[in-house]
Structure 1
Amino acid sequence: MYQRSSVDELVTSLRKELDRYSPGEKLPPSRELVGRYRVSPVTVSRALAVLAAEGLVVTRPGAGAFRARPRAVSPRSGDTSWQEIALSAEASPDQVPRGADASGVLATLTVPPPGVIELSGGYLPASLRPERALAAALARAGRRPGAWDRPPLEGVDALRAWFARQIGGPDGAVTAAEVLITAGGQSALTTALRALAPPGAPVLVESPTYPGILAAARASGLRPVPVPVDGEGVRPHLLAEAFRASGARAFVCQPLFQNPTGTVLSADRRRETVRVARAAGAFVVEDDFARHLAHEDAGPLPPTLRADDPDGTVVHVCSLTKIASPNLRVGALAARGPVLERLRAIQVVDSFFVPRPLQEAALELVGTPAWDRHLRTVAGELRRRRETMLAALARELPALAPPRAPRGGYHLWLRLPDGTDETALASAALRAGVSVASGRPYFAAESAAPHLRLSFAPAAGEAEIDEGVRRLRAACEEVLR
C-alpha cells in the first residue's frame, strides 16, 4: 500500500474513533495504534499530524495525543457588498478592467472525482514522475552547505548556468547572467507580461492558445489580441497586420508543440516571426513549455527562438514542472538588454526569490544519471500513449480523429461538428466518467469552430486511455445525436 494511502485510511479511521473520547482525554499510544492498524510508526505520526492540523487532536511531546477541546465558533456575518465597487471601479474609462478568469486553467488543474478518468490534465501521472530521484535530490539538497541561506535574488548561479545551456544550446548563445530563476512557468509568463506591457495595452497571442496565457494577461489588465495559427504555426503576415492594427509591443507564442494544437513553428516562420516583431519594435515571449516532452519519434528539435536572437527581441520562458512534478515549481526567464532588469525588479517585488532548497533540489535532480533515464522513459511512454489514443479515436470516434498527431506534448486537439455545445459535451463526458477540456477557453475571441482537447499524459496507463475514449463516445452519442 502506498504511504499516502495508508495515512489517508488511518486518518479516516481515527476520525470515526474520536467520538469515543471526551475532550482532553488521551488517545492510545502510538505503539498501540501501530499494532492495531498494522501500519508503520511514520504513518501514525503523519496521521496524527493531519488530525492536529484539522484541530481535532492536540499532540504534546512526551505525553502523547489528546482529543482537542471544541472551540466556540461564532462566525460574523459582515457586509461585503462594498467589494463590488472596489473590484470593478476603474480610474480611467480607457483601461481594461482587471479580472482573473481561471476557468480554463482550473479545467486542467482540478483533480477529477474518484472513478473519473482524467483526459483533461497537464501533468504526468505518479507512475511517470521521477519521485524516487526527486526524494533523493531533495534530501541531498537539504544537506548542502548554505542550502537554507537566502539565495541570490536572480537564482543559484549553477542552476542559472544549467538553464542557460538548455536555452542557448552548445554554442553558448545564452549566458547565466541572462537567466532569472522563477517559481515555475506560469509565474514567469505573468512576470514577462507585466514587464512588457502597461495595464490597458494590447498583447498579441496565438489563436488558439494556452488559457493560462489569457488568464495572466487579463489579470494584469491587458487585452489579448488573437493571431490565427495553422499547421505551420503563427502566420507571419497576419502577425505583422496585428502589430500594425493594435500597436501591441509583445507577442506570446509556443513555437514547439503548441498548446493546444501541437503545432511546431516552421523554420521559415521562425525567422519571419522574430523579424516581424523586431520591425514593430516589439518583444516575442517564447513559452518553451514542451521541449522536455518530445516523443521518442520526434527527431531533432529546432533550437529555441532565443538561441537565434542576438538583439534581445525574444524573452524566453521554460520550466522543469511539466517533465518532473507539479510540485517542482522551478523555471527560468532568459532575456537580453534593459528588459532583464525590469523582469528582475518585478519578480523581486512579487515573490522575493525562489526558495533555495527547491533550487538546490532541481540542481541535484538534473545532475544525476537518473535525469537522462527519466527523459528517455517519458519520451517512449508519451509516444505509446499518443498511439493508443489515436487508435482508440479511430475505433470509437473516427469522425473526431485529428488529421495529424503531434510528436511532442501530451494532448490532441479535436475538431467537433459545427454547432456542438462544448460545455454540454464536457458535462456529459464527466457524467460518463471521463474528464475532457472544452475548446472555448483556448480562444481570446470568438472561435471559428467547437473543439475538445484530450490529454494522454495524466491517465494511469494505456488501458485507461482506451476506456476514457470509450466513455467519451457514450457522451458524444448523448449530445451529438
Structure 2
Amino acid sequence: MVQSSSSHDVAEALVAEIRDLPAGSRITTHRELVRRFGVSATTVSQALAILTQRGLIASRPGAGTYRTEARPVPRAGDTSWQEAALELTHHIGSPTGTPRGFRTPALMSTLSHAAPDVVDLNGGYLHPELQPLTALSTALARAARRPGAWDRPPVGGVPELRDWFAADIGGGLGRHDVLVCGAGQSALAIALRALGQPGDPVVIESPTYPGIVAAAHAAGLRMVPVPLDADGLRADYLDEALTRTGARVVVVQPLFQNPTGASLTATRQQEIHTIARKHGAFVVEDDFARHMTHADSGPTPPPMIADDPDGTVVHIRSLTKVTSPNLRVGALAARGPVLARLRSAVVVDTMFVAAPLQLTALEVVTAPGWRRALTTLGAALQHRRDIATAAVTATFGPHALPLRPHGGYHLWVTLPDHLDGRQLAASALANGVAITPGDNYYPTDSSAPHVRLSYVAAPSATDVDDAIRRLAPLVAEGS
C-alpha cells in the first residue's frame, strides 16, 4: 500500500485519541473523519489501515470500527532513509529517462471500502445482492472435489477453461490462442509490459479507466491521450497520434467504456483496426463489460479480435465483473508470435493462476444456469440504470447525461458549470454518499466537469435512488 504523509498524520492523530479508550469502544465514523481532517476518503482509509496493522482497531462489517484489546506497540524505527533510496532507483535501467512509477491514488479509490453509513456509488464490483453466490459456492465445492484440483496447472491455463474462453470470445480462436491470467487488471499490466519498453509511447482513451493509467505508469510508458465521441475512440485523432509519436500500442475499451459508457460501432472498430495495421501497432482490447449488457440492449458488435486474421488485436476478457471480485480469472487472447511474449510475461508475473480458482471459474461458466444468471443480471442492471438515470436527471438537470448506455454499471454525469467534481465528491462523502470525481479518469491534471456514478455497489436500487437525490442540496449550494 502506498501511504501519503497526510495519511500518516491522520493515523498519528487518531492514535493519540484512541490509545486510552477501553477495548470495544466504537471510534468516529469514516465520514466524520473525512469532514474533521479535511482529507480525502482514500487518505482516511489508509490511516485506518495503518491503525489496523498496528492492532489498535478492527472493523466489523455493517457495524463500524472498534478499539481492540490493548497490546504493546513495537518501537518505530527510522525508515526515512527509504525515501532517498526509492527516489534514486526510479531512473535505474531506464535509458530513455522515463521512470517507471506506481501512481495508484485513482485506482486505489476504486477499491476503497465505504463506511457502514455511506452509500457506495463509487465501487465497480457487484454488491453481494447481485452476485451469483449460490452458483459460486456450488462451483467452489465441485472444483475442490475434481481429481488433480491441487496439481500444478499448465502455464497457459487449464485446457478446458482455455477452450471455453476461446469459444466465448469467438472469431475462430482456439485453445492455443488463449492464456488464462488473473483477471482484467493483471491482463492489462502484463500486456503493456510485454508490448512496450520503458519510454515508449502508448495511445489511450481520454478519459479512461484509472487501471490503464496505473499499468502504463508501472511499465514506464509515455501516455498519449486521444479523445472520444459517442462512437468511442476518434479514428482521425488516432491516426494523427500514431503518425506523430510512432506508438506501437493502442488501448481501447470497446463496449460501455469506463467512464463514458461509449461503445465502438462496427464501423469505428474497422477504422481503428485499419489505422493500427497501417502503423504496425497492436490494439489492446479491454472487453471488460461484454457480459454486462442490459436487458434492453440491442445487438452489440463482436469483439475486434473476431475479425483479425493478421494478429493486430490483443484481447482481454474477465469473469470478475459479473461474478465476484474474488473470482480473479480472465484471459488474454492473440494470434501470432505475440502470444509467446505474453506467455513469458505471465510466467514472470504470476507463474500461473491457481488451479482451484481456474476450476471454480470453469464450473461456474459451464453450469446449466450460467446463461440464465447473465440474463437475470442484465435485467437487474437495466432496472438500476433506469432508476439512476431518473435520479440524475432530477438532481443534475436534463442535460447531465448526454450518453445513456445500455450496458456496463455506471453513468458519466456532466456537472453544471458552477460545480467542481472533486469538491462535490468530498461534500457528497461528508453527506454519506461515495461518488467518483471525473479527474480520476484523466492521465494528466484535469478540471473535467464530471463525476462517475456506479449503480452496482449499493445494496439496492432504492439505495441508489436515495443516494443520488441526496446530492440535490449540494448541487443547489454550489449555484
TM-score, length of structure 2 as denominator length: 0.83
Using the TM superposition, give the Cα deviation of residue 196 of structure 1 relative to its aligned residue in structure 2, in angstroms.
Answer: 0.6
1:73–1:403 CA distance, 2 compared to 1 (3 A): closer
Q: Output the CA distance in 1 between the equivalents of 2:405 and 2:347.
A: 37
Percent of counterpart pairs with the same letter? 51
Q: In the superposition, relative to structure 1, how do residues 146 and 391 fare at CA in structure 2: closer, same or farther (>3 Å)?
A: same
| Match in the other structure for 1:338 | 337
State the Cα distance separating 1:83 from its structure 2 match: 3.3
**Aligned twin of 2:257:** 258
The answer for the alignment partner of 1:415 in structure 2 is 414
Q: Is the Cα contact below 8 Å between 1:226 and 1:445 reproduced in 2?
A: no
What's the counterpart of residue 139 of structure 1? Answer: 141
**For residues 76 and 111 of structure 2, what CA distance do their matches in structure 1 show?**
32
- After TM superposition, give the deviation of residue 266 of structure 1 in Å: 1.4
Paired AA for residue 123 in structure 2: G
CA shift at 1:299, angstroms? 1.6
- 2:95, 2:318 → 1: CA distance? 37
1:288-326 CA-to-partner distances (Å, cap 9, x unmatched) read 000000001112221110111000100000100000000
Distance 1:369 1:439 in 2: 40
- Aligned residues of 2:395 and 2:475 also touching (Cα < 8 A): no
Instruction: Return the offset for 1:428.
Output: 0.2
Which residue number corresponds to residue 40 of structure 2?
Answer: none
Q: Which moved more, 1:100-109 or 1:175-184?
A: 100-109
Residues 261 and 16 of structure 1, relative CA distance in 2, 3 Å threshold: closer
CA distance in 1, matches of 2:222, 2:149: 41
Aligned amino acid, residue 250 of structure 1: V
Aligned pair in 2 of structure 1 residues 476, 149: CA closer, same or farther (>3 Å)? Answer: same
Aligned to 2:476: 477
- How much has 1:108 moved relative to structure 2? 1.8
In the alignment, structure 1 residue 191 sits paired with structure 2 residue 190: yes
Asked whether the 8 Å contact 1:95–1:221 carries over to 2, the reply is no
For 1:80-479, list aligned pairs within 5 A.
80-89=80-89, 90-91=91-92, 94-169=96-171, 173-399=172-398, 401-418=400-417, 420-447=419-446, 449-478=448-477
**1:22-71 residue CA offsets vs partner (Å, 9 max, x unmatched):** xxxxxxxxxxxxxxxxxxxxxxxxxxxxxxxx799xxxxxxxxxxxx998
TM-score (normalizing by structure 1): 0.83
What displacement does 1:474 show? 2.4
Residue type at the aligned position of 1:216: A
- Structure 1 unmatched runs, 5+: 1-14, 18-53, 57-68
- Contact 1:400–1:414 (8 Å) recurs in 2: no
Cα distance between partner residues in 1 of 2:473 and 2:447: 25
- With over 3 angstroms needed to count, the CA separation of the structure-2 counterparts of 1:149 and 1:390, relative to structure 1, is same
Contact 1:233 / 1:263 at 8 angstroms: preserved in 2?
A: yes
**Alpha carbons 2:106, 2:210 under 8 Å: kept:** yes
Change (3 A) 1:454 1:70: closer
Matches within 5 A, 1:59-70: none
* Partner deviation per Cα, 1:60-89 (whole Å, 9 max, x = no partner): xxxxxxxxx998654341243243343344
Shift of the 114–161 alpha-carbon distance from structure 1 to 2, 3 Å rule, reads: same
Counterparts in 2 of 1:356 and 1:232: CA distance versus 1, 3 Å: same
> Structure 1 residues 55, 463: CA separation in 2 closer, same or farther (over 3 Å shift)?
closer
| Alpha-carbon distance between aligned partners in 1 of 2:305 and 2:266, rounded to the nearest angstrom | 14
State the one-letter code of the partner of 2:222: R
Offset at residue 117 of structure 1 (A): 0.7
**Counterpart amino acid of 2:83?**
Q
- Local SS of the residue matching 1:128: coil
Unaligned runs of 5+ in 2: 1-22, 26-54, 58-68
The CA deviation at 1:420 is 3.2
Given that residues 286 and 314 in structure 1 are in contact (C-alpha distance below 8 angstroms), is that contact kept between their aligned partners in structure 2? yes
Which string of whole-angstrom CA distances, capped at 9 and with x for unpartnered residues, describes residues 194-246 of structure 1?
01110111100011111110011011111111011101111111101000111
User: Contact 1:419/1:450 (CA < 8 Å) preserved in 2?
Assistant: no
Report the secondary structure of 2:412's partner residue. Answer: strand
Answer yes or no: is the 8 Å Cα contact 1:201–1:222 preserved in 2. yes
Contact 1:432 1:475 in 2 (8 A): no
